[in-house]
Chain A
């Protein structure tokens, strides 16, 4: 299908963010002109202000706000760090350049702004996200971790030097890295109609080899464990702009289950952001019930696994009946297994039998 009505969330967003940053600078300058110490307000990210919103199906921040004032000695340093960060990312947007969290940490030193360590600069970037109310990807700061995508989707780059250039995401058998250039690319043409996400590299490679993208008309995404934010953002775009359903496959244990959940409903850490979740995505397996139904080789749940399951049982994101059932089964059979467990019945078993059955079951 050729994508005509191009929603193109990425580019319009950048303009909004750039404007917001400039307004922040103007506000501070005017305050200083009036002889007032600049202040900035943002929603509090303390745990007491993080709530689960059934409406958005993700964690959101409550109404409570914090004010950071340059009159306060304790705020002064982070305040200056935040103004610099705002300046720095504004320059990135203006020059259409990207940066990583680590890069930001080091770049600061050139401006005589110092961060104790990268976690301090990461925190300041999160502050800026909270103030601007857009994720850092929208101001061109990306994480280090890279995950990959494979499938019949033609994209057109928007990054400087590549503007207008096109590429098909099935052109490289190892998949194409989901980095800044891809995150901001325009979607041009596709024959796919769904997205299949896997957490494990071995499984991703198997799916490519077994032509899952052809057999199931799917775009394949490999998350490398917990999905990085740029990947979550990319999955969201596929879902929102192309209306593709998203199916997530992860290990049958509390940790694999939660990898799927974060893609669907986000994390508490990102409660200040709204552009990272895909609430309609589905956890397609491996379910606890699959362990017995498919007679998969399994291991005993560890104490930590059980503890984690108890936590998840009370987590508002897991309120849904299906999740609760799966947690109950885990607790009952006290077993877990990995995606690779299907290999017991031959290398292609998962693609030949499990995948079609499961997708059918989920109405795909």
Chain B
């Protein structure tokens, strides 16, 4: 069974399958997920575990539960939308693996939020592919209507090795939290340790729409399935009803080119004609490209939020590329780059890969993302691989181009690779700009420090040589700290005033030293006895600084600072330097 090849991998895959089911269930219910995972070792054995995953998702109606968990469904469903479920079989594989290795049933508890909670104990009859119901209990969902429990709990027993699986499991959960910043995830491991990943946003990405398959992406098996279930009795209507972006005009033109009469009943197509039809669809160049509303990308805001939350970088840039398609499958690439802060500096670049919001944590090196990252000349962006930066790549599609059955490696699909490369380039450029701006500020500050350091010495030693008292250097240069550890409030507050009338150049340097909260600052100058805004309101994110040069004569200069969000105080330091001539 793919994904259950060894004791470590089996634990990992079981957790992953059930967690992804839960995330999908919460997506369907449009509520931010609450997922509780507990893995405990069974008393009677060293290598058997109980895995319990509970969610607050849509729940499953009581009579569907045996089929959803005790049977492999080969549905007639052919319409497409983006979903996590790696193998399309939900947790059934995990349940089956558990049953085979421990001979114990699965326990499922679920409620759709109505007055009942149902509890099943099931086994799968493997030969007949049917559920065996061992036990069924009905509980009252007894709280007031608005507070009723809704969700699903699945508990399986399985054989495996947590000690070996642990690093991958924890990495998987951390990355899942990164791609789902609106989820609360709690994990209790067999040693009783608690891992908690808190949501930082309530907002969820818009849900994907279900769409028909695109003619370019249809295979013989899918086409046969559609033909079996269709109610249309002519090819013209058949094409329009079951395929993405096929209207009457295109359907006519295509059928004409394919040499199929418009009034032919699709049910009469012979197998070899169906094979030929698939071929013709791929050859025809008149189909419109697929639309992306069947996709549910994270969006730039959520991706940024997820990266900030789990990596805590000093800087992050995110980019969502425009929707595109390969072989009739729509896809969207989202890329982020994170720098500094708690991003560790390693020998190599940190790469996080996601497909449909699922982290890919195995078989990194064979992935096309690595190939692309390696092909980039990082020096062009003033970066070297040993600097503290991470690249995050998210590909979402109705069909992720996996390279292998294990579904951990993205294949080199020309259109997808191009979007990934261009996405990385865009965010890398933003990082390069950020770094050069930061370097420039540092250089400027250092330059001015030179004045404050050496001018007093020149004055002092000249005076000693001349045998007199030191001359006053403030005519040449003066530095004043106008904000020192200033805590902002919701309203603008003035800094100390800097008397600038004798200086021709004034330098303003403002730092936000707060660890989280952003600030808003502006700079005002006194001209003809009136305060004028010299630098309009600028945002200073946590840890960032601005450095500006003011030219022209002002009687005085001051800085104003406030919190960007009224209840979030920030911490400001500011200096003003004046230089004559």
Contacts and interface: CB of A to CB of B under 8 A. Distances in A.
A86 B466 CA distance: 11
A89 B450 CA distance: 24
Contact of A113 (B457, B466, B471): B457
Contacts of A79: 454, 458
Interface residues of B, number: 25
A29 B476 contact: no
B279 to A, nearest CB: 72
Given A77-B450, A77-B454, A80-B457, A37 B465 contact: no
Interface string B461-477: 11111111011110110
A11 B447 CA distance: 43
A106 B522 CA distance: 46
B370 interface: no
A84 B455 CA distance: 12
B463 A25 contact: yes
Given A76-B450, A77-B450, A80-B454, A86 B471 contact: no
Interface of A: 21-22, 24-26, 28-30, 32-33, 35-38, 70-71, 73, 76-77, 79-80, 83-84, 86-87, 90, 111-113
Given A71-B581, A76-B451, A77-B454, A32 B476 contact: yes
**Main SS of chain A's interface residues?**
helix
Contacts of B472: 32-33
Contact of A38 (B458, B467, B468, B580): B458
B201 interface: no
Contacts of A36: 476, 581
- Residue in B454, B463, B502, B580 with the greatest tally of chain A CB atoms within 10 Å: B454
B140 interface: no
B535 interface: no
A21 B465 contact: yes
Given A29-B471, A76-B454, A80-B454, A35 B580 contact: yes
Given A90-B464, A113-B457, 6 more contacts: A24-B465, A73-B450, A79-B454, A80-B455, A84-B461, A86-B465
Contacts of A26: 462, 465-466, 468
B459 A25 contact: no
Interface in B408-465: 447, 450-451, 454-455, 457-459, 461-465
Contacts of B450: 73, 76-77
A23 to B, nearest CB: 8
Nearest to A30: B471
A33 B451 contact: no
Contacts of A87: 461-462, 464-465
Nearest to A26: B466
Contacts of B447: 73
Contacts of B462: 24-26, 28-29, 32, 38, 83, 87
A38 B475 CA distance: 12
Contact of B457 (A22, A33, A84): A84
B493 to A, nearest CB: 33
A37 B503 CA distance: 13
28 contacts: A22-B465, A22-B466, A24-B465, A26-B465, A29-B462, A30-B471, A32-B473, A32-B475, A32-B476, A33-B471, A36-B581, A37-B580, A70-B454, A70-B455, A70-B476, A71-B581, A76-B454, A77-B454, A79-B458, A80-B458, A83-B458, A83-B461, A84-B457, A87-B464, A90-B465, A111-B457, A112-B457, A113-B457
Nearest to B459: A32
A88 to B, nearest CB: 8
A80 B447 CA distance: 15
A35 B458 contact: no
A33 B473 CA distance: 8
Nearest to A79: B458
B507 to A, nearest CB: 12
Contacts of A37: 476, 580-581
A112 B580 CA distance: 26
A84 B502 CA distance: 28
A73 B458 CA distance: 14
B475 A35 contact: yes
